[in-house]
Every structure is written in C-alpha cells, then in structure tokens.
Amino acid sequence: MLQDYLQTAESDAPAPKAIIVPHAGYIYSGSVAATAYARLHSVRHAIKRVVLLGPAHRVAVNGLATVSSEGFDTPLGTVPIDQQAIKQCLSLPQVSVSDVAHLQEHSLEVHLPFLQTCLNDFTLVPFVVGEANENQVAEVLEKLWGGNETLIVISSDLSHFHDYATANAMDKKTSQAIEQLQPETISYDDACGRNPIKGLLQLARQHHYSIRMIDLKNSGDTAGSKDRVVGYGAYVMDRKPDNMRYTWNDGQQLLRLARKSIQHGLEHGKPATVDKDLYDAFLQQHRAAFVTLKIAGNLRGCIGTLQAYRPLIEDISQNAFAAAFRDPRFPPLQDNEYEKLEVDISILGLPEAIQFDSEADLIRQIRPGIDGLILEDRGRKGTFLPSVWESLPERENFWQQLKAKAGLPADHWSDTIEVSRYTTQAFS
C-alpha cells in the first residue's frame, strides 16, 4: 500500500529538511503523507537520524515525553532509538522519559513504515508532545537540528469532525498560518499536533526557513463521507534557508544603528530605542548577531547572541551597547574613544551540529576561514566567529584556544562534548 502511494506521489523536488505529515489510518491520510515522503528518495542514503514529534492522544503529558527502549518494532523490522541524542535532550526541563505515553500512541508509530520504506539505515529520536509551548518545542528541535544527516518529522492531522465545507475553510486558514510562519494563530481546534507544529514554525521564523504546503485534503476526499471529516495536510521545509542575503545598504544601516546606540550610551547610559518604522521587514526578522569594536586594530569589545530570539535591529542595538560598555574584559568606553572606533557586525547563519568520532576527526572537519564554532560541554560554552581565523589560522590552535575560552583545559575531551558550526555575513 505504501509503495503504491509513494509511486503515485513520486517527485523530483528537492529533499526537505523537515516535513509535517498526517497520522490517520493509511486509507484516509496515507496518500497525503506520501507526497512529502516521496521527496526523500534522493537522500535515502544520507539521512541517518529522524527526529519524530507527534501529539499525545492517550496519556496526559507535561512537556515532551521520550522513551527508554532501544528500538521500535514494526512488521518491516526494528527501528533503533538514538539514546545518545535522547540523553542530550534530557538536560532540558521540558523533556522526560515516559514509556507509557508511547505505548498506544499512533501519532508516531504510523510514520515508522513510511520511514522504513523511504530511508535506508537510520535511528529515531521520538517525542510525544503534550502541554508544551512553541519555545519549548523549538529548543528541543534546535538541539537536534543537525545537518543533512537529520530529518525532522512533525505528525499532525488538521481539523476534526466538521462538515466538508467547514473543514475546507478551517484547513485552508491553518495552512496559510503554517506557510506564513504564524504559530500564534493556530488554535486548539485547528490541528491535533498544533504544539509540535508551532515549535517548528517558531524555529523556521527565527532562522529564515520557508515552509510550503504540497497537499491538502480531508477524509471526505479519500475514504469517508463528507458530513463529518478530518483534515490532512502535507508540508515541506527546504533543507537550506531562503537564499536571502543582506545587501551593502542593509549593512550600512545596521552599522549606523550600532554607532547610534553606542553614542546614545555615552550620553544617556543606555542603548538607543529602535524605531522599527525606519527599517524594512527583512531587517526586523529574528536573527542572531555579534558586534565587535576595535581601536587601531586592537579589540575593544565584542558581544553577541548565538540564538535568534529578537529582531535583528534590536539585537544589533543591544549588542553594540553591550560591547562598548558591558564587556567584562574592558572598562566602559570613554567619549574620547568614540571617533576612533572600528565597528564590525557579523550576522550568524543557522548553526549545524558536527558529527565526529574523535577529536582528530573533529579537527579535520573544521573549515579554516569559513566556520564559526560553538563548543558546549559540562556546563561550559564558548564560540569563535569566523573572523578569529585571521589571528588563529591553524585548525589545532583555533580549537585549543576555543576550549580555553570556554573555560576548559587544553587537553579536555569527553564523549559529551558538542560542537556546532555556523557561517556569518559581515559588515565593517
């Protein structure tokens, strides 16, 4: 049955990074889900991990519930559980282990045969999502986002048990909210998997990913009557963010904003209030950035954010002020230094986890002059921007100095160490 659905839905469209797919019985929603799964053909060998989130139907869950088992069995074989990834997520307060929440939960299990048919060898990171807000879900997804080896699957049906015309209107509205990345407009009646959907939308909005609907039906279109239907939609998130780059003019606006905030700090002791009406919507999207200050080529302050949680213009204004007056390595900036300041802005791309077998393997994968790195281990965290390669051009030295910045010994290594890379777009 699945092979028939997949052959009918066969597509040469680019493989998605994440999909939203329905979880009803296959005769009802299998053909809709197949439109998304059929796009995995080109990456069936590359995807090694699937992060699967679905709503709780049977058991009340506070936050996100994962499992203690080593695998899930289906008629197509055993899907191994990535317990190492689960261990990483259990450090988050919203994540817990609850085998009983998974025992009879169909929202996850109906996707396993699809995944086993479409992919080769992969591990699973499953979560039943209960009462959790979009930020809590997005935090889990961010932690597991990975690179091209990781696929995100969100399981959700749409409206439930309305007449055909009402369901069509409701599901169209929900699809618009998904495509427009508006989690705040999706309510209880719109989708049973609203909480995991909203978490994905939150992350997509922060990191400039787009989500597109590729199929929208209900049970009245597939295998049921039209007087009381359930809605089903399939949506895909591209593997790469929208190819939107900041222009030279954008950079000049942001540099002027940074200087204005520093000047306001000298005069009033606080950053300037940002007038959003002066900036277009692109500069108001949530992005993470660093502001670096130098005088005569020497560092005078550097402050930034690693995760996008506020509009870029606000991030630049706050970080510029903090770099001038709150960097603990330097005294607050003085009036006579302002005209000597060189201001650099680095806008961060989406971090991508690096998979490695050893410290030597990690060092080999680092790209000099390109990668910014984030190091996390044992409650310590540090980052180097790509611009640091100018003063630390050798891989080994770059890595050793990053460990030192994170407060770790030069010879530190452990099996819990996490490293992500990112690129930046810089203006000076």
> What CATH number should be reported for the domain holding residue 373?
3.30.1490.150
- Which range of residues forms the domain containing residue 177? 2-238
pLDDT in tens, 202-218: 888 777 678 889 999 99
The CATH number of whichever domain residue 198 belongs to comes to: 3.40.830.10
Token pair of 148 as six digits: 């091209």
Q: Is residue 60 assigned to a domain?
A: yes
Residues 201 and 332 in one domain: no
**What's the confidence (pLDDT) of residue 242?**
47
- Domain annotation covers residue 151: yes
Is the residue at 163 inside a domain? yes
Could you report the per-residue pLDDT of 373-418, keeping only the tens digit for each?
A: 999 998 899 999 888 998 999 999 999 999 999 999 988 999 899 9
> What is the domain count for the chain?
3
Q: Considering 184, 217, 238, which residue would you say is the last residue of a domain?
A: 238
Q: Which of 320, 347, 374 is the last residue of a domain?
A: 347
Residue 183 domain-assigned?
Answer: yes
Same domain, 211 and 267: no
Q: What is the pLDDT of residue 423?
A: 85
**Are 343 and 356 in the same domain?**
no
Whether residue 192 contacts residue 124, with contact meaning beta carbons closer than 8 Å, is answered with no
Q: Is residue 292 part of a domain?
A: yes
Same domain, yes or no, for 212 and 283? no
Q: Based on the fold, state whether residues 358 and 387 are members of the same structural domain.
A: yes
Does one domain contain both 358 and 337? no
46 and 193 fall within a common domain: yes
Q: In this predicted structure, what is the pLDDT of residue 7?
A: 93
Residues of the chain scoring pLDDT < 70: 208, 239-245
Boundary residue ending a domain (212, 238, 264)? 238
Beta-strand pair 71-74/77-80:
antiparallel
Q: Are residues 79 and 140 in the same domain?
A: yes
243 belongs to a structural domain: no
**pTM metric for this prediction:** 0.61
Burial class (CB in 10 A: 0-12, 13-18, 19+), 349: middle
Q: Check whether residue 54 and residue 176 sit in a common domain.
A: yes
Asked whether the beta carbons of 13 and 41 are under 8 A apart, the reply is no
* Helix/strand/coil (H/E/C) assignment for every residue in the chain: CHHHHHHHCCCCCCCEEEEEECCCCHHHHHHHHHHHHHHHHHHCCCCCEEEEEEECCCCCCECEEECCCCEEEECCEEEEECHHHHHHHCCCCCEEECHHHHHCCHHHHCCHHHHHHHCCCCEEEEEEECECCHHHHHHHHHHHCCCCCEEEEEECCCCEEECHHHHHHHHHHHHHHHHCCCHHHCCCCCCCCHHHHHHHHHHHHHHCCCEEEEEEEEHHHHCCCCCCEEEEEEEEEECCCCCCCCCHHHHHHHHHHHHHHHHHHHHHCCCCCCCHHHCCHHHHCECCEEEEEEECCEEEEEEECCCCCCEHHHHHHHHHHHHHHCCCCCCCCCHHHHHHEEEEEEEECCCEECCCCCHHHHHHHCCCCCCEEEEEECCEEEEECHHHHHCCCCHHHHHHHHHHHCCCCCCCCCCCCEEEEECEEEEC
234 is a domain residue: yes
Tell me, yes or no, whether 105 lies in a domain. yes
Q: Are residues 317 and 367 in the same domain?
A: no
Are both 314 and 364 inside the same structural domain?
A: no
pLDDT of residue 208: 67
Whether 107 and 45 map to the same domain: the answer is: yes
